[in-house]
Chain A
Amino acid sequence: MFSTLKLTALESIRYRGLWGHWSWLAHRISGLAILSFLVIHVWDTANAHFLPGLYQWSLEFFKYPLVAVGEIALMAAVLYHAINGIRITILDFKPELWQHQRTSAMISWGLFAVVFIPIAILMFSTLVGHCSELAAEGATCWRIPPLSAFQPFSEIHELPH
């Protein structure tokens, strides 16, 4: 099993299928990345009902700058997966368009860049704004509040700042 995995990983890099290959690879990786976060996100959000205190802590955890950068990466994954997904669906139902598959892959990447770049700039400036706001108050965004501040998890807590 792991030997096939290793072979697949190596061949995925070595194989020179160019545009179509990169699209396939990016679709797969973005899909797996989204699913990993989705499972965490769904179980975490369910805590808003089951363990609101723990959910409040996780909301603070998601504000940590490195996690917020991960949020921008998640945005990239969702947008690329969505745009390339439209391309796949159209090609599946209109096979005659397959002769344009290379162009369609290029269009997907272009469209992704046009949509993602402004959104990424916006999200990043929101993050910087949030951190400088805290810094102005003498606080910092580089600190995750301890879990113990939100115990018992079954209760709703006042935020520290």
Chain B
Amino acid sequence: MATITGVTRRTADVSNQNQLERYAFLFMRLTGSGLLILAVGHMLIQHVLNSSSNLTIQFVAGQWNSWGWKTYDMLLLVFAITHGFNGLRGVLEDYIHNDTAMTWIKRVLFVFCIITIVWAGFAISTFDPSKFN
């Protein structure tokens, strides 16, 4: 008979409270599908059709003169940051098995995530293109 070594057994909490992980799983697939269009689109539009080599603040102001671009960038911001930080949480949980440390890391990441979205969201929505003419 074959012997299996190195098997790690961890208890899984399947109570309702842990439905949160199920939603996190679905959230990653959903935002991932959204980012397939938003993030890949952003890369192709800004880095292939346009280019960083001739990018100016006036060009950015021109784009943010339109509500369409502002909405696109706002959606991209929210999807990319939340997807990215939830991904980072997943990676860290794989390697850090100290529950107290992990709880604090999650709190810090959550707060940083919110501050980033609010700060950048404020910048996009209140950006005044008329200053750049």
Are B47 and A123 in touch, CB under 8 angstroms?
yes
In whole Å, how far is A118's beta carbon from the nearest beta carbon of chain B?
A: 10
Chain B hits for A127, CB < 8 A = 53
Question: CB of B98 within 8 A of chain A?
Answer: yes
Are B123 and A48 in touch, CB under 8 angstroms?
yes
Question: CB of A1 within 8 A of chain B?
Answer: yes
Question: CB of A34 within 8 A of chain B?
Answer: yes
Given contacts A1-B95, A1-B96, A34-B84, contact A52 B51 (CB under 8 A): no
Question: CB of B24 within 8 A of chain A?
Answer: no
Q: Which of A33-47 contact B (CB under 8 A)?
A: 34-35, 38-39, 42-43, 45-47
Number of B residues near A (Cβ < 8 Å) is 46
The one of B33, B57, B91, B126 that contacts A56, using a Cβ cutoff of 8 Å: B57
Are A1 and B98 in touch, CB under 8 angstroms?
yes
Are B60 and A48 in touch, CB under 8 angstroms?
yes
Are A159 and B56 in touch, CB under 8 angstroms?
yes
The one of B56, B81, B94 that contacts A42, using a Cβ cutoff of 8 Å: B81
Assembly CA distance A78 to B43 (angstroms): 8
Are A4 and B95 in touch, CB under 8 angstroms?
yes
Q: Which of B53-97 contact A (CB under 8 A)?
A: 53-57, 60-61, 64, 77, 80-81, 84-85, 87-88, 91, 94-97
Given contacts A45-B123, A50-B123, contact A8 B29 (CB under 8 A): no
List 29 A-B pairs, Cβ < 8 Å.
Answer: A31-B88, A35-B84, A35-B85, A42-B80, A42-B81, A45-B123, A46-B120, A46-B122, A46-B124, A48-B60, A48-B61, A48-B64, A48-B123, A49-B122, A49-B124, A55-B57, A59-B55, A62-B52, A63-B52, A63-B53, A75-B47, A78-B39, A79-B40, A79-B43, A119-B44, A119-B48, A122-B48, A123-B48, A129-B53
Chain A residues engaging chain B, CB cutoff 8 angstroms: 1, 4-5, 8, 28, 31-32, 34-35, 38-39, 42-43, 45-50, 52, 55-56, 59, 62-63, 68, 71, 74-75, 78-79, 82, 85-86, 89, 92-93, 119, 122-123, 126-127, 129-130, 156, 159
